Amino acid sequence: MKHVFYSFLLLSGLLFACHESGALPDTPSSPLPAHLRDGITRISDDSLAFVLFAPKKQSVYLIGDFNDWTVSEAYKMDKDGDRFWIQIGNLDRNKAYVCQYLIDQTIRIADPYAHTIADPWNDKDIPSAIYPNMIPYPTGQTTEIAMVVTTQPDQYSWKIPDYTVNNPQNIVIYEILIRDFTEQRSIKGVQSKLPYLKALGVNAIELMPFNEFEGNDSWGYNPSFYFATDKAYGTSDDYKAFIDACHENGMAVIMDMVLNHSYGQSPMVRMYSGANGNPSADNPWYNVSSPNTSYSWGYDFNHESKHTEAFVDSVCAYWLKEYKIDGFRFDFTKGFTNTPGDGQAYDASRIRILERMASEIWKRKSDALVILEHLTDNSEEKILADYGMLLWGNLNYNMNEATMGWGEEIGSGSKKGDISWGSYSQRGWTKPHLVAYMESHDEERLMYKNEQWGKEYNGYNVKQMPVGLQRTAAAAVMLLALPGPKMIWQFGELGYDYRLGSSMEDGRLDKKPIRWDYYENPDRKALHDVYTKMIDLHQTKAVFSTSDYTIDLVNHFKTIVLKGGDETAVAMANFDVVEQTKSVPFSKAGTWKDCFSGNELTTSVTTESITLAPGEYRLYFSQQ
């Protein structure tokens, strides 16, 4: 027990006077128990341990409900090297407590490893229907974000304790922004739509960032706490129930994770920041300024720091273990480097950083999906793909030029409608680790641009909704006929046509209309049904996993020929606004059946002259 008289001095403010004079009382030094790790550890029904990594700090006090928010010697944390720690008891098992660290008498933070936070600015705006019985913030007792702790063990009982991703090299991912997917704007709302997603056929859900971010209305790319689910979408058990339900329905869950940067509410930023708010030179995790000369958000992680490496590993391990996440999509991985520049060039140091990170993830879950939003030098992406990672492949601009009918217009020295880069083999890759997509959270919607700038010619008008939807269906056929994993943005299968916007000022991050009624529109339902058929074929027909395929995706009339075992498939579509005829390489003579119309075609030679109307598509399978 600390000395009572010393507690009195603290409470009377004499310690603050010592701080002003630069002479803080000594922090007791004692070895950190071997079983304790950074963050909060439940010891028993009435006790908790707290460990904070805080190099170069002189003192840390634990303040909270359990000590009436007073700075007392009884709650001064012991020090072991760069870590401060304390174990407290006499807690009520049935009560949740709000508390903070007070560092060097000036900085109040919640633990970076906290699982639940109390936010003085935003909690009050979260509806009780989404997060019931929220612990109120102790207004008047403290300031800044605090943490909520309890001695109760995790109560969630998993129905599916282990889940394995089936056919990971040919998965079809559905990307979701929880906020804009259902009227409930909650993770429970997303769970209510799992029957729809299962019927659509997708076998992986990628949720945009849902660890605690700043504010309640966000895409989630402004993270603040990496071990807490954001309360704006539901409780921690709500998220676990969603993941469990996905696994019951044969769907993997991919967590969008932002480890390129954090924003100013991050306790790791606030612990070490200069007068201008930027990270100070002694910050263990962040660069003072971003080395990227073109792309920079928030405060940049220093991925060459051993402390950042340890933190990254802890974050990934936590979600894999505690929430049974099946993998991660890492945002802006071209920024995981200290090499100055815009991140476009080959970077050996970045490769090492990403390979180390992926290896640590696979030590914890050997089949975890590691997906990179890299979008940089192809030679570097090939190395990362060969190592086992999946990489985003953005086809939005070129595919949209094709759907609008402008595909063969020359632009910047290349044909705009060329979608050859959606083929991993075209990139020279040996593994089908390219996650090709036509739309994502970051890209303008195909149908919006079709309706705004679609080509008109001789009575054929792409701007007309049924015409634009048919051309979008043709794009889906070509995308999903290519081997390798694919991604669909939410409502893309229904031809969502609300403008994304180009900047924050332009409404880019604003809430978007939620249009489940689109499913009732016959033209949109027809597009949906093409997606459903193609997703099923992509996942169940072995020919769509073949490495023996040829493409001609440059001009208006596009073809893909796939050969696998005894089966051959030929996909084709005409993205011109007039009829087109082309000699299609069927690879062998025989009878072929179009899976959409049911019509049969008999070829006597290995190539056949095919005429397609504008926007027409076909997918032929060889008949034995």
For the stretch 322-345, pLDDT in tens is 999 999 999 999 999 999 999 999
Taking only Cα atoms into account, the Rg of the chain, rounded to an integer number of angstroms, comes to 28
Residue whose structure tokens are 């306790």: 267
Cα separation of 230 and 434, whole Å?
30
Q: Hey, what are 592's tokens?
A: 């072929």
Cα separation of 93 and 119, whole Å?
23
Query: What is the average pLDDT across 131-147?
Result: 97
pLDDT tens digits, 88-109: 999 999 999 999 999 999 999 9
Strands 39-44 and 369-372: unpaired
Tally of helices (H runs) and strands (E runs) in the chain: 13, 31
Name the percent of the chain lying above pLDDT 70: 95
pLDDT at 413: 60
Identify the CATH number of the domain defined by range 168-251+300-327+338-545.
3.20.20.80
Cα separation of 281 and 274, whole Å?
8
Query: Where residue 601 falls among pLDDT bands split at 50, 70, 90?
Result: very high
pLDDT tops 80 at residue 497: yes
Name the percent of the chain lying above pLDDT 90: 89
Class of residue 283 by CB neighbours under 10 A (exposed 0-12, middle 13-18, buried 19+): buried
Cα separation of 56 and 42, whole Å?
27
State which CATH number among 3.40.50.620, 3.40.50.170, 2.60.130.10, 2.60.40.1180 fits the domain covering 552-623: 2.60.40.1180
Low-confidence winner among 62-76, 209-223, 496-510 (lowest mean pLDDT): 496-510
Which stretches of 2-59 are assigned E, i.e. beta strand? 39-44, 47-53
Angle between helices 396-404 and 446-453 in degrees, nearest 10: 40
* The one-letter amino acid at 387: Y
pLDDT tops 90 at residue 1: no
Query: What is the average pLDDT across 497-503?
Result: 92
Query: What is the average pLDDT across 241-250?
Result: 98
Cα separation of 493 and 255, whole Å?
22
Q: Where are the domains of the chain?
A: 4-149, 168-251+300-327+338-545, 552-623
What is the per-residue burial (b if ≥16 Cβ within 10 Å, else e) of 134-148? bbebbeeebebbbbb
Kindly state the DSSP code that residue 508 receives in the 8-state scheme.
T
Please identify, in words, the CATH class of the domain defined by 4-149. mainly beta
Low-confidence winner among 7-16, 33-42, 456-465, 537-546 (lowest mean pLDDT): 7-16
Cα separation of 255 and 536, whole Å?
24
pLDDT tops 50 at residue 11: no
pLDDT at 425: 98
pLDDT tens digits, 147-193: 999 999 988 999 999 999 988 989 999 999 999 999 999 999 999 99
How far apart, in Å, are the Cα atoms of 394 and each of 2, 169, 448?
Answer: 61, 17, 18
Query: What is the average pLDDT across 386-414?
Result: 88
Same CATH topology for 4-149 and 552-623: the answer is: yes
pLDDT at 55: 98
Given a contact cutoff of 8 angstroms between Cβ atoms, the answer to whether 412 and 419 are in contact is no
* The one-letter amino acid at 609: S
pLDDT tops 50 at residue 15: no
pLDDT tops 70 at residue 80: yes
Pick from 105, 193, 205, 120: nearest CA to 165: 205
pLDDT tens digits, 354-396: 999 999 999 999 999 999 999 999 999 999 999 999 999 999 9
Mean pLDDT of the chain, nearest integer: 94
Residues near 405 by Cβ (< 8 Å), separated by ≥ 6? 454, 455, 457, 462, 471, 575, 576, 577, 614
Query: What is the average pLDDT across 191-206?
Result: 98
For every residue of 214-270, which 3-state class applies, written as one string? CCCCCCCCCECCCCCECHHHCCHHHHHHHHHHHHHCCCEEEEEECCCEECCCCHHHH
CA 100-104-5 angle, 5° bins: 90
**Which pTM was predicted?**
0.94
Cα separation of 86 and 33, whole Å?
10
Query: Where residue 419 falls among pLDDT bands split at 50, 70, 90?
Result: very high
Given a contact cutoff of 8 angstroms between Cβ atoms, the answer to whether 450 and 403 are in contact is yes
pLDDT at 266: 97
Cα separation of 404 and 343, whole Å?
31
